[in-house]
Amino acid sequence: MSHTYTQNVLHIVFSTKERQRSIPEARQSRLWAYVAGICQHEGMFVLEIGGMEDHIHLLLQIPPTLALSKAVSTIKANSSRWMGDKFSWQQGYAAFSVSASNIPTVVKYIKDQKAHHRKMGFDDEFLALLKKHGVEFDRKYVFG
């Protein structure tokens, strides 16, 4: 697409279905790598991927020709298939735009998930991210 210039960097977060701890630590690095492959195949530039047993964080640059909802749907569908029959992701997701100056901070945040979650569970983290980014929500609908 000529004459189109974008810097569409997004921090995307979603959990496993019912926040089940269904991503064993021993399998996480392979799942993150597989998700990176999905992203690259779809033309997304991967800055960082990480998470815990019950959720994933992605820091991606999405091309202007790819809708966010399509990107997330593709990532979820393909990674769920790779994980197997008993695995699935939650229905929704959260996505926050990230300015170029904040990319290193978000990369560090994603890399430090293990330490971060010694202090805070996923539900509290997710709500804190929504609040930090000024996203209005009704708590009774956030987690289904």
Distance CA 21, CA 19 (A): 6
Q: Which residues pair with 59 in a beta bridge?
A: 11, 48
How many structural domains comprise the chain? 1
Answer yes or no: is 43 within a domain.
yes
* pLDDT(144) > 80: no
Q: What is the pTM of this model?
A: 0.92
- Give residue 22's domain range: 9-135
Q: Which amino acid is at 92?
A: G
* pLDDT(116) > 80: yes
Answer yes or no: is 141 within a domain.
no
Which 3 state secondary structure label does DSSP give 52? strand
CATH code, domain with 34: 3.30.70.1290
Cβ–Cβ under 8 Å, residues 90 and 22: no
Answer yes or no: is 55 within a domain.
yes
Q: Which amino acid is at 70?
A: K
